[in-house]
Amino acid sequence: MRTYLIPIIAVFFFYSCKKDAIPAKITEVIKPIEIFEYGFKLNDFEVINDTIKTGESFGVIMDRHHVLYPKINKIASSIKDTFDVRRVRSGKPYTILASKDSLNKAQVFIYKHNKIDATIINFKDSTINAYTYKKPIKTVEKKIMGVVNSSFSVTMDNLGLRGNLTNEVADIYAWTLDFFKLQKGDTFKIIYEEKFINDTTFAGYGKIKAAVFNHKGKDLYAYRYVADSIKKIPEYFDDEASLLRRQFLKSPIKFQYRISSRYNLKRRIAHYGYRVRPHKGTDFAAPSNTPIMATANGTVIESRRSGGKGNYVTVKHNSTYTTKYFHMRRRKAKVGDFVKQGDIIGYVGTTGSSSGNHVCYRFWKNGREVDPFKQKLPSAKPMEEAIKPDYYEFIKPLKDKLDGISLDENNLENLIEEEHLIANN
């Protein structure tokens, strides 16, 4: 009996001791998270983020981070065909990857042109090289709808959209739609792209793929399409394959204007005893310093100040058409400049015979002043007939998407909907 009791007593004693024993401390080893950016493992470096200050040069920055001037000169000469270090600009952000030892010496310089593009100068080893780097971008397609209550720009602001997208839409419709004449209740729908870094950091807008404005009950479509297989430049066409771009813009001012006085050969003014004083221009009232655009390509043949015209610029477009822009606060274009449609040639003011801030837009055809709004102005090169079947096939799904965007008729508020991944660059 005693022989059997000994092991039982031993087991009991062992578990009694374990119950009161202090448990051993277990140490968990946590490996640091490896971070990769710009093609480097950042854990291996001392990472220094900064911005180029006014007056700083590449050499000054390198010297501050313990790179000697003979090495700085060698870097500059080695990479001059790829990147000119003299062109670094104040205000631009940069990153330096430095050694983790006591010297803390710079080994890589990353110059950030924008959120996406950077130039990397790697001089860690004996070989020095510079190359461009583009962060991976995710492109998201979005569809929006807006209802105009006051103006197009205010409606876009209410949708949380940035001004450069608003301006691009305005550029697309600059030849076909007078944004000043938009009416309360007019609607628009846009299919466009947004770009993101690491899924969350907004990196700007991509293409505007399609849009439609419903103005005075009429739908004005715009589709982005490459019709020229040689130049491969995208243009915007309507649902009947007509090019939206025309030779002349409808207005020399993009936004924030009103037509305060139209072309009128029978105008009577109280100040002159209601005598007929013809007005051969169109006055666009706008805040002081608003940019004034050339309405078509041409050469500046006048840029000066003269009497009642104030500061003004004259652009000769061809042997048929010439335009003038009066009462500028200041002129930007000079005689002899070739300006493209949409280029800024001056700024709104009230110089000369003017009672308020505006630009008086004058339009000549064959040497005679005419009303630009009553002219049948030439359009750009039309789409070739052979391409139209492919175009109609291309726009069909886009039109279906646009037509499918709708608002509750009882709750006409602005809308942004359906965000989905469409590309990984």
Strands (E), 153-239: 187-197, 201-215, 218-225, 235-237
Q: What is the pLDDT of residue 390?
A: 96
Q: What is the pLDDT of residue 409?
A: 45
* 248 DSSP 8-state letter: S
pLDDT tens digits for range 29-69: 677 788 999 999 999 999 999 999 999 999 999 999 999 99
**Nearest-angstrom CA–CA distance, 170 and 216:** 18
Residues with Cβ < 8 Å from 155, sequence gap 6 or more? 146, 147, 148, 149, 188, 414
Residues with Cβ < 8 Å from 284, sequence gap 6 or more? 251, 252, 253, 257, 258, 259, 260, 358, 359, 361
The stretches in the chain having pLDDT less than 70 are 1-29, 256, 265-277, 378-380, 407-425
CATH architecture under which domain 258-374 falls: Distorted Sandwich (2.70)
Q: What is the pLDDT of residue 7?
A: 52
DSSP-based three-state secondary structure for 158: helix
pTM of the model: 0.65
What is the SS3 string spanning 280-329? CEEEEECCCCCEEECCCCEEEEEEEEEHHHEEEEEEECCCCEEEEEEEEE
Which tokens is 212 given? 């439609």
Count CA atoms within 13 Å of residue 384 on its CB side: 7
**Phi and psi at residue 8, to the nearest 5°:** -65, -45
Domain ranges for the chain, please list them.
36-134, 138-246+381-424, 258-374
Q: How many residues does the chain have?
A: 425
CATH architecture under which domain 138-246+381-424 falls: Roll (3.10)
Q: What is the pLDDT of residue 247?
A: 79
Q: Which of 112, 111, 391, 91 is CA-nearest to residue 224?
A: 391
> One fold for both 36-134 and 138-246+381-424?
yes
Q: What is the pLDDT of residue 143?
A: 93
- Topology at the third CATH level for domain 36-134: Nuclear Transport Factor 2; Chain: A, (3.10.450)
